[in-house]
A = this chain, B = another copy of it.
Amino acid sequence: MKLYNVKLLTITCEILAQKNIIDILKNHNITGYTSYEVDGNGEKGLRGQGIQAEKNVKVEIIMREEKLSDVIEDISRTLFPDFTIILYVSDVGVVRTEKF
């Protein structure tokens, strides 16, 4: 089965930034994503316990390489200063490129 190379962008952030991220994705015509709540530890200390607003979420987006750089730049510029965010990119292979 032939696999096509695309990029997987993973963003771990405070849950209240999720909306902002999805808005940025939309601006780049990306609507597909998968998300789930996670706990975590980092500079801001232990997160994921207590009130809903203080939780972390992971957002994963499979996308073509072309859009990657712009999306990351947008997120870095607008969200890094004010929100708890970590992101990383990995290479993945998919069967149907037309989905992304």
Contact = CB atoms under 8 A, between A and B. Distances in A.
Which of A6, A58, A62, A95 has its CB near the most chain B CB atoms (within 10 A)?
A95
A91 B76 CA distance: 21
- Stoichiometry, as copies per complex, reads 3
Given A87-B94, A89-B93, 20 more contacts: A1-B73, A8-B88, A8-B90, A31-B41, A31-B42, A32-B41, A32-B42, A32-B43, A32-B86, A33-B40, A34-B58, A34-B86, A35-B39, A36-B37, A62-B88, A76-B95, A86-B99, A90-B90, A90-B93, A91-B91
15 contacts: A1-B76, A10-B92, A12-B34, A31-B41, A32-B86, A33-B41, A34-B38, A34-B40, A36-B36, A36-B37, A36-B39, A62-B88, A86-B99, A87-B95, A89-B94
Interface of A: 1, 3, 6, 8, 10, 12, 22, 31-43, 56, 58, 62, 69, 72-73, 76, 86-95, 99
